[in-house]
Amino acid sequence: MPSSHADIATENASRYLQQLCKHWAHKFPVEFDPTHGAIDLSLGRTVMDADASTLHITVSTDEAGSLERLESVVADHIKRFAFREELTFDWKPATAA
């Protein structure tokens, strides 16, 4: 399953994690708490973990061609929530556990 990962430096990681999960909860299966969230989008799965200084995001999809689109959709939504700060998304291939 193609997947990628990004670590976004922000002191608002928990806030953005919860906002994104609440935003999509009406449309997709979502589970979350202040430090962990998972969203099953039609494009693929997004898993987020928040700590005091970083939002860790892993996206995965069944179709390799959809990975870049999923990265973009997730990043664009979080950037909208974070309009007061400039966030950097540097997506890298995720390593298998």
CATH number, domain of 71, equals 3.30.310.50
Looking at the structure of the chain, the number of domains it has is: 1
Residue 91 lies in a domain: no
Q: CA separation (Å) from 86 to 9, 16, 37, 68, 89?
A: 10, 13, 22, 21, 10
Q: Which domain holds residue 54?
A: 3-82
Residue 97 lies in a domain: no
Tell me what pLDDT residue 63 has.
87
Amino acid at 21: C
Helix (H, G, I), strand (E, B) or coil at 26: coil
Tell me what pLDDT residue 96 has.
58
Closest CA to 74 of 41, 50, 49, 96: 41
Residue 89 lies in a domain: no
Residue 77 lies in a domain: yes
pLDDT above 60 for 54: yes
Residue 56 lies in a domain: yes
Residue 19 lies in a domain: yes
pLDDT above 60 for 68: yes
User: Using CA atoms, how far apart are residues 75 and 90, in angstroms rounded to an integer?
Assistant: 10
What sign does the dihedral 6-8-12-16 (CA atoms) show? negative
Residue 93 lies in a domain: no
Percent of the chain residues past pLDDT 90, beyond the cut: 92
Residue 70 lies in a domain: yes
